[in-house]
Amino acid sequence: MRYRTIAGTTVSAIGLGAMPLSIEHRPDETRAVATVHAALDAGITLIDTADSYHWHAEEVGHNELLIARALARYGADTSGVLVATKGGRGRPGDGTWTVDATPARLKQAAEASAKRLGVDAIGLYQLHKPDPAVDWAESVGALRELLDAGTIRAAGISNVTSAQIRAAHAILGEGLVSVQNQYSAAVRDSEPELRLSTELGLAFLPWSPLGGLSRSSLDGPSGSTSVGTAFHRIAAERGVSPQQIALAWLLARSPAVIPVPGSSRPASITDSAKAAELTLSTDELARLEDALVG
């Protein structure tokens, strides 16, 4: 496993996106815990969760509680694992997602997340999505208050524009350490936000990093995947999975990138973790870029 940093904290270059362990089509707890343990066995030290990663309306925090139980049952030291959680979204139980990033809601949510995770302070707390009904500065100001109160040790923002990153950085300063936007070979709309994150020294955590190759948990059972792409051809030449090539490509985009692929099986996260050991050649990167541009 290779490593990268989030505000001076060393973490694995590949993280575990834990959402699939708690939403629709989730595995049973035995397999879910085994997936987390497989990630830890593979050297992964970054786990991405959120209070809204659940299925039914009455089970807010399902994923956070699951992660806490899995870490407690691991049987080895997990003090070096950074659990990053998020607040500001909700799931009413009908498959939809809501947004509530009022300062009062964010502060209450962070305190509840800390209790579920069993920590005195959350290692990394991210505002899940800007709320169009709330002034951005007010939502980010709540993160500032959480930092000052010691409820969280570091703050991040997700699903944001470059302008929102700059505004949040002005308010939070060194307290802002990460940006989590959708980014993959198939979805590259956040290229400006990746460049800005790199410039500001912020970790960039792509969600749904395997877009185009593997179906996202957000897509549901009807989501499609690609076959026969340049990623598949290079994977065949290397004798590895296309997913590993996609993650290695992301790692090559910037030293700020730390992908968090979602997994619901031990085998899938074990495979994804191997991407951290894979370095693509200049020729391979050029081939991938030519295919994406084409």
- Enumerate the active-site residues: 53
Terminal Cα-to-Cα distance of the chain (whole angstroms): 33
User: Tokens for 199?
Assistant: 């410039």
